[in-house]
């Protein structure tokens, strides 16, 4: 028998032992239904059990039935916390200080905890406030394509210069095996990884997100009192005993942080807004709607800073910085002090970025970096580079992640139809880019139903997953572009639109500025099957390309197309060309018009106008 099993069995047995429980006036039936008790146990309504905790480790619960019975867990908790066995009572109080503090409040008392380890932990954190931290999306990691959120514990003597040595609270999946990216994404969608809370120095997370993965970071000061912060931390201490099944789409980092922050106040209800999925930017917006967020601060990523400096370097200075990075330093006779300062600063940032990005050998690279800093220190001028400009729109101010659309579509060969569209999440290349990573797309369950003029209805499209990362190459970054999509759609067959299931992926390059004029070209391959292919597996290969243009703040124009040669089928090609105009009327409403040409075994030309509501 494990220690945790013995401990729970022992707690059941002590229910028959006279205890201080008998001297209290707890209304078990009422308190077991109290919203704060349900938050302490992470209980949600369950159609089978009535209530069920999201915690998936048995040793978190004091009752053998604690996962599905808030009342049984409360009874066992009170019996242990107020037991006449002083050692048992003290041990349980120190394991569950948030529960004990709350129960004491129900009796009109202030909890008195004698827990040296807990006090040492709180002394190290020295908490006065909390900050929500939002690193933006990282498209090369499937688990981070929506972004991420974590909490920073702000100490009492903390200043902007001391923030990096503060502590961060992170919730993340902890794989037990080294899975590849595709398997990692699949298992993450299925909840196959355990998720846990951890506390670590904040500089480690900044190094991981800001430097190694080159993700911009937004920091939102939370409007919590010191007492409310301590309530959150007491429950975090209890979470050492808790483990959850981690799901990328719903019970993820952002969802669990909201569940933790709910403990700050009795009346806070944050996770109720996310019954199906929890997108980090949406959870940030929920905190803003509850008045919990101050104005955000912006911490530009390593790559953002480097690209900003590159944009402020003419060709002559850029080439000189490239040589300085190799140890060939500019002379004072050829360059002014301001120019040499720019050369050394840029060369240092560039080489430092390559140290992380390319995994350069640390010792010789560190020596080069130190020498570049020394050369720069000898030039007594201010930095010639202006600071990176904070974006006008922070992530929570972008469009909402879910989308519904209503449209009318004209077809030259088949029946005209009205369509109803729905997308669970999150963003495509034509959506408003404000608050999102320019040139990136990730879409789940993009669905379209149609109703034609003859009264027929059918499913036209179900894209299970559709992602694109179109980071442009430039003189600093040699980036690759890629896409992957899979799902169901219909193509023009002889005299009908026939259905197929497919998977497609592409790899190539992108150019230009995603905020202005942006182009891409990908070598692409797909595999199709279903009624369209007579249930044979039909491969195809070819090219996918496009040009996108941002016209002002509200309009996006696009020309996109693909040509794939098909093999082992009567159809010779899967060709699509689309011209699109997207007008973002406001943050959460847009109109999109499209003109399309499609060719499989037959041809079809169509025009479509859609009104979108984001929510």
Q: Which residues touch 417 (CB under 8 Å, ≥6 apart)?
A: 408, 409, 411, 450, 451, 452, 453
Give me the pLDDT at residue 330, please: 94
Here the tokens at position 84 are: 């006449």
Compute the distance between CA of residue 457 and CA of residue 73 in angstroms, rounded to an integer: 50
10-residue averages of pLDDT along the chain (615 residues): 44 42 74 96 88 92 95 96 93 96 94 95 94 83 73 88 88 73 64 84 89 89 96 96 81 89 94 83 92 94 92 95 94 94 96 88 94 95 94 92 96 92 94 92 94 90 94 90 95 92 96 94 97 95 97 96 94 96 97 97 95 97
- Residue-wise pLDDT tens digits, 431-444: 999 999 888 999 98
Instruction: Return the structure tokens found at 273.
Output: 């807004």
pLDDT (0 to 100) of residue 213: 82
Contact yes or no for 168/155 (Cβ under 8 A): no
pLDDT of residue 187: 67
Using the Cα atoms of residue 286, residue 173, residue 481 and residue 486 in order, give the sign of their dihedral. negative
Instruction: Tell me, rounded to whole angstroms, the distance of Cα 339 from its chain centroid.
Output: 40
pLDDT at 181: 61
Q: How many CB atoms lie within 10 A of CB 553?
A: 11
Residue 11: its pLDDT value, please?
A: 47
The reply to whether omega before 426 is within 30° of 0 (cis) is yes
Q: What is the pLDDT of residues 5-35, one digit of tens each?
A: 444 444 444 443 334 444 568 999 999 999 9
Nearest Cα neighbor of 533 from 500, 486, 573, 564 is 500
pTM score: 0.84
- Portion of the chain with pLDDT greater than 70, in percent: 92
| H or E element, residue 15 | none
Q: Across the chain, what does the average pLDDT equal?
A: 90
DSSP string, 186-254: HHHHTT-EEEEEEEEEHHHHHIIIIIIS---EEEEEB---HHHHHHHHHHHHHGGG--EEE-SSSSSHH
Q: Measure the CA–CA gap between 134 and 264, rounded to whole angstroms.
A: 20
* pLDDT at res. 522: 98
The tens digit of pLDDT for each residue in 439-472 reads: 899 998 999 999 998 888 999 999 999 999 998 9
Which contiguous run of DSSP H or E holds residue 556? strand 555-566
Quick one: which of 231, 160, 232, 170 has its CA closest to 201? 170
Cα 141 from Cα 591, distance rounded (Å): 31
Cα end-to-end distance, the chain, whole Å: 50
How far, in Å, CA of 514 to CA of 570, rounded?
Answer: 39
Question: What does the alpha-carbon distance between residue 444 and residue 402 come to, in Å, rounded to a whole number?
Answer: 10
Burial class (CB in 10 A: 0-12, 13-18, 19+), 298: middle
């Amino acid at each position: 028998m494990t220690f945790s099993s013995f401990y729970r069995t022992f707690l059941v047995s002590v229910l028959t032992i006279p205890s201080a429980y008998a001297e209290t006036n707890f209304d078990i039936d009422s308190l077991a239904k109290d919203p704060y008790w349900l938050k302490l146990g992470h209980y949600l309504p369950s159609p089978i059990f009535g209530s069920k905790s999201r915690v998936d480790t048995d040793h978190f619960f004091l009752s053998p039935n604690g996962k599905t019975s808030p009342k049984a867990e409360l009874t066992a908790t009170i019996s242990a916390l107020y037991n006449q066995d002083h050692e048992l009572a003290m041990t349980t109080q120190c394991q569950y200080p948030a529960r004990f503090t709350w129960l004491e409040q129900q009796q009109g008392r202030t909890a008195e905890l004698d827990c040296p380890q807990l006090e040492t932990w709180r002394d190290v954190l020295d908490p006065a406030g909390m900050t929500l931290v939002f690193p933006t999306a990282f498209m090369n990691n499937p688990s981070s394509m929506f972004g991420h959120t974590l909490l920073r514990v702000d100490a009492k003597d903390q200043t902007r210069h001391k923030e990096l040595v503060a502590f961060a609270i992170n919730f993340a999946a902890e794989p037990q095996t080294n899975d590849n990216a595709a398997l990692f994404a699949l298992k993450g969608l299925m909840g196959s990884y355990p998720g846990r809370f951890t506390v670590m120095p904040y500089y480690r997370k900044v190094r991981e997100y800001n430097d190694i993965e080159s993700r911009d970071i937004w920091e939102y000061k939370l409007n919590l009192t010191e007492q409310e912060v301590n309530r959150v931390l007491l429950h975090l201490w209890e979470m050492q005993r808790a483990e959850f099944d981690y799901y990328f789409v719903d019970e993820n980092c952002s969802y669990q942080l909201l569940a933790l922050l709910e403990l700050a106040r009795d009346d806070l209800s944050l996770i109720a807004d996310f019954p199906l999925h929890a997108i980090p930017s949406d959870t940030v917006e929920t905190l803003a709607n509850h008045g919990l967020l101050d104005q955000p601060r912006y911490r530009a990523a390593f790559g953002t800073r480097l690209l900003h400096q590159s944009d402020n370097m003419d060709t002559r200075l850029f080439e000189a910085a490239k040589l300085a990075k190799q140890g060939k330093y500019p002379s004072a006779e050829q360059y002014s002090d301001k120019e040499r300062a720019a050369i050394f600063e840029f060369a240092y940032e560039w080489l430092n970025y390559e140290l992380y990005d390319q995994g350069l050998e640390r010792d010789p690279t560190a020596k080069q970096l130190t020498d570049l800093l020394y050369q720069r220190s000898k030039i007594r001028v201010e930095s010639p580079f202006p600071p990176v400009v904070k974006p006008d729109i922070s992530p929570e101010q972008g469009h909402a992640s879910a989308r519904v659309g209503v449209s009318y579509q004209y077809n030259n060969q088949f029946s005209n139809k009205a369509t109803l569209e729905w997308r669970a999440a999150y963003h495509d290349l034509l959506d408003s880019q404000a608050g999102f990573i320019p040139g990136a797309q990730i879409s789940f369950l993009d669905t379209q139903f149609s109703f034609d003029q003859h009264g027929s209805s059918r499913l036209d499209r179900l894209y299970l997953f559709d992602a694109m990362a179109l980071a442009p190459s430039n003189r600093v970054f040699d980036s690759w572009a890629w896409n992957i999509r899979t799902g169901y759609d219909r193509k023009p067959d002889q005299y009908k639109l026939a259905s197929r299931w497919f998977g497609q992926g592409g790899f190539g390059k992108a150019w230009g500025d995603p905020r202005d004029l942006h182009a891409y070209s990908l070598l692409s391959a797909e595999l199709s099957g279903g009624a369209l292919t007579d249930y044979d597996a039909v491969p195809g290969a070819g090219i996918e390309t496009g040009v996108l243009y941002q016209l002002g703040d509200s309009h996006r124009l696009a020309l996109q197309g693909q040509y794939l040669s098909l093999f082992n089928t009567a159809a010779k090609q899967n060709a699509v060309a689309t011209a699109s105009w997207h007008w973002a009327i406001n943050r959460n409403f847009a109109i999109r018009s499209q003109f399309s040409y499609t060719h499989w075994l037959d041809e079809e030309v169509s025009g479509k106008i859609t009104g979108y509501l984001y929510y």
